[in-house]
Chains A and B, each alone.
Chain A
Amino acid sequence: MIAKACGELKASLEKYLATENLLREGNVETFAAPRRLVAVATGLLLRQADATREVTGPPKSVAYDNVGKPTRAAESFASKQGVSLNDLYTISGPRGEYLAFKQVTPGRTAHAILAEVLPRVIQEITWPRSMHWTGSSGPRFIRPIRWIVALLAGKPVRFQFAGLTAANVTSGHRFLGSDKIRVTGWRDYEKRLRANFVIVRPDERRKKVQRELTTLVSRRGLRVHDDPALLELVTYLNEYPTAILGNFDDEYLDLPDEILITVMRGHQKYFAVEKKNGELAPHFLAVINLDRDRKSLVVAGHERVLKARFADARFFWQADQKCRLADRLPKLAHVTYESHLGSYKEKVERMRATARFFADHWFNSGLHQAHVSDADRAAELSKGDLVTEMVREFTELQGIVGGLYARAQGESEDVAWAVYDHYRPVGLDDPIPRNLTGCAVALADKLDAICGCFAAGLIPTGSSDPFALRRAALGIVKIILERKLPVSLSSAVDTAGRNLLAYPPKITLMPDIEAKILEFILERARYLLRERSGFAYDEVNAVFKAGADDLVDAVRRLEALKAIRRTKNFEPLAISFKRIRKIIEKANGTGSQRPKVNPELFEEGAERELYKSARDAASKIDVEKRAGRYREALEAIASLRKSVDRFFDEVMVMAENPAVRSNRLSLLGELLREFSTIADFSELAPEEKR
């Protein structure tokens, strides 16, 4: 948020300075610390260049009499413009000679301009949430503005904003610095603030934190638990960040790392500390907004707070062990999943059935680590943690807590990890579940969410997606693709749909809604393949047009298409396919109801040749396709280029004779159908458009 505000501050200041012609070769840099946003412009002109403009007056013929004396017309022009007659001269234009003079507008000073511009620059920064503080007619900002420093070449730029007058006085660290520091310019500002315990540059603060964190632990043979987001957070939370090392009692190490880290990070913004072997050490690193912990009061305070937090977590852990996950199912009956879709208990029943379907199908497809009973058990336990104290307190640990409890309560590793992972992936960069059972439960969960919500009419629109169904669909795609799972999307959706009918709420998923769901999932797949896997949009469209029910297969075809696309025969062939499609569409219909090709009706050699080479290619392609050798299959298609080209060179499709014409259309129709099963080439954009 602050980084974004800095970007906006820079952009808006640069825009105004450029509009006012004040920024010749300089630039604007911005910095932020908790109580200040800073913009520094270098290379500013102190005054705009004068602007000169030629003002044209009356024609010379009117302005001077026949002896060359200025007339009243000339006099009145001069006096109106506020110049003397001597300043006037004549210019010649296409319509004769005219009076003119040079009007010079003196450039304004940068001081004057900045005094106008800076209030606007402040107002133009946008915030996710802003506030009033001087009443509803006053400005909005992220927090009240309490002072403004504006200096140009050592002199204050005076302007009013939010009841304040900009001046040359700033404030240092709230407790360690002075609150009245007079500054003369940027260098002086930075220097004096440092002396008053404010480091203005975020980069410098970040480095200070990193250095101190590392120093504190490395001398003990430990290392910092890496957390870039937390580092960024503490960089912007402190004016003068200093790292301190605190300890906690060994006994808390009994709690799982996930919980310890969440407590340290989430509530307290502490870095966890690890031993060389990755185990957590009983220490934490806090970043404080002081130069040092003078009397060790701070570390004692932080230790006390963390101890209480850990005690709380332990209370939750122990309270939760009183009731096994499996015994929590009845409680889930009281937790509504969604008002149309019943309780979590009912959702769990549906998930179990769908997870069993996947495990069964995968086992039969040769994935022998897939076990129906494990998938069923993991799905059964998956939502139990929603009614635990721990998840109530740390909602971000849902799933994870369930997995930890499952293990602690003697479930198998496979089931425990499946529960642990089943919300995954929660984003593009989040890993998928680590085992097949987890994949089955995760798919069942996400499909149930999508199918249930779609059936209940809760379909995402625009930016509104309250049930995060897009993320669920992306998760489905990611799991299938990364694990290369044999999944037919249509039968998966169909199964989830049937389970919505078989179990409460017993609603029917209509076929048109099923089609919408498939398209919804495929849209996410297209997105992932384009944005993440780097396939061109038209390649993705071409392959998906030929079918993408099996996403893993679709990606194989996509890879083959991408590889062959650069070869010389391919692009022209793609253009020919587009032409074929147009011809057939123009001739009304896709050719599906056309009679079969009748070789008897061929008149030209070129059509006979195309027919024959297509036949030959087709059987070869069939073999390659069955073997999954899409590259070879596509090469066989590309080899048709010569015959296709010759056909179009020599044959007139729309022949006079209706039977011949129809037969030629049939030939093209078959060609199109036959060779569009890997990818629909007519979807490919010509090279220059890509």
Chain B
Amino acid sequence: MKLKVKHEASEKGLTFQDLIFRLQQFWAKRGCVLQQPYDVEVGAGTMHPETFLRVLGPTPYRVAYVQPSRRPADGRYGENPNRLYKHTQMQVILKPSPSNIQDMYLESLAAIGIGLAEHDLRFEEDNWESPTLGAWGIGWQILFDGQEITQFTYFQQCGGQDLDPISVELTYGLERIAAVLQDVESAYELRWSQDTTYGQVRLAEEQQFSVYSFDLADAATTRKLFQLYEKEAQRVLSGYQESSPESKLRYPILPTYELCLKCSHLFNQLDARGVISTTERATLIGRVRALACRTAADYLDQQALVQPQGRPENPVPSAARRGVRS
């Protein structure tokens, strides 16, 4: 074992689940709400409403959660050591972004047993953009001995809305980090727990979803589903503006966002199936973005009704206010 890890199981590095515990503990101590993964298919932790919607508007918030993220085109039938149909992200949102955020991030790496002076760790310019979400940000990809392990983004816009305050998003690629810590070459060899491997837990899923999205998914059906979800989202969205102020308060914006996520996933599915051209791609992305932007605008409108005068609905966790460093 090459890494110095301050953990009982240090011989072989943190298990996958211990890695998650450590990071959750670390960020919980820094005032984050520990949320759960979203139960709809998403391509990235950013799409979880705890990021997409929470970064909108003025209310401070800190949240961390694990998000299994599906990228149908990245599936490799379980044959590639680190390309996965579904990989696991640890997502952290700090709103507003603290000024020592880079140091906090580095502390989190130390907390999982990474010796910083012994590795080539760098912040390389990488501006993140999600055309389907109408979102972009400025930031870095964090490379650890040449491996990208985290995406670090100062959100500037989300759902087409300019953000103020600016949130920072940290997205840890958990399989990659675990592989580095455990010094294994394939995600499937990772120890998920002391006696179970990642492969035992997930291989069948990777194989079957790869076969489905590359070879079996029916393009016409997938297109049809996209249209159905899109239509339903549009139908619900179109009712918001005409609603009375009282019914606006509980108008189902959150469910329409879910419909938008469905469309996004179906688009990824079509893309993996290789049936959409560059231009159709642009059109479909535009259609998902239209839903996302509409949802974001209505969400903001609704929030202003729910909490007028910018009174925080969620008080900042006290630890976050104090900017605690461990």
Contact = CB atoms under 8 A, between A and B. Distances in A.
Nearest to B58: A135
Interface in B57-96: 73, 76, 79-83, 96
A464 to B, nearest CB: 15
A146 interface: yes
Interface in A251-301: 268, 270, 286, 288-290, 293-295, 297-298, 300-301
Interface stretch (B30-38, B115-123, B201-209): B115-123
Contact of B162 (A136, A163, A268, A298): A136
Interface in B22-59: none
B185 interface: yes
A295 B119 CA distance: 9
Interface residues of A, number: 52
A135 B166 contact: yes
A176 B118 CA distance: 10
Contacts of B144: 301
Contact of B119 (A238, A268, A298, A312): A298
Given A132-B156, A305-B146, A339-B279, A288 B120 contact: yes
A297 B146 contact: no
B16 interface: no
Tell me if B's interface is mostly helix, strand, loop or mixed. loop
A298 B83 contact: no
A219 to B, nearest CB: 23
Given A132-B164, A135-B165, A136-B162, A237 B124 contact: yes
Given A306-B146, A315-B79, A297 B119 contact: yes
Interface string A215-239: 0000000000000000000000110
A289 B96 contact: no
A298 B277 contact: no
Contacts of A661: none
B246 interface: no
B118 A343 contact: no
B274 A308 contact: no
Contact of B80 (A130, A315, A335): A315
A143 interface: yes
A339 B282 CA distance: 11
B3 A129 contact: no
Given A135-B165, A337-B277, A387-B274, A307 B145 contact: no
B117 A312 contact: no
B20 interface: no
Contacts of A132: 156, 164, 166
A62 to B, nearest CB: 63
B221 interface: no
A327 interface: no
Contacts of B145: 297-298, 300-302, 304-305
A163 B124 CA distance: 25
A286 B154 contact: no
B136 to A, nearest CB: 9
A294 B123 CA distance: 20
A133 B138 CA distance: 10
B193 interface: no
Nearest to A315: B80
Given A129-B138, A305-B147, A290 B166 contact: no
A311 B138 CA distance: 31
A336 B280 contact: yes
A301 B179 CA distance: 10
B146 A144 contact: no
A484 interface: no
Interface in B155-179: 156, 162-166
B278 interface: yes
Contacts of A304: 145, 147, 185
A336 B127 contact: no
Contacts of B250: none
B277 A297 contact: no
B97 interface: yes
Interface in A174-233: 174-176
Given A135-B164, A268-B146, A334-B274, 17 more contacts: A34-B123, A133-B154, A135-B96, A135-B165, A174-B121, A270-B146, A289-B120, A289-B122, A290-B117, A297-B119, A302-B145, A308-B82, A311-B81, A331-B274, A336-B277, A338-B279, A343-B277
Interface of B: 2-3, 73, 76, 79-83, 96-97, 99, 102, 106, 116-124, 127, 137-138, 144-147, 154, 156, 162-166, 180, 185, 274-280
22 contacts: A130-B138, A131-B137, A131-B166, A132-B156, A135-B96, A135-B164, A135-B165, A136-B164, A174-B116, A174-B121, A294-B117, A294-B118, A298-B119, A298-B145, A306-B146, A308-B82, A312-B80, A315-B80, A335-B277, A339-B279, A387-B274, A392-B73
Interface of A: 34, 129-136, 142-144, 146, 163, 174-176, 237-238, 268, 270, 286, 288-290, 293-295, 297-298, 300-302, 304-308, 311-312, 315, 331, 334-339, 343-344, 387, 392
| Interface pairs A-B: 7 shortest CB-CB | A301-B145, A336-B277, A288-B120, A131-B138, A136-B164, A302-B146, A305-B146
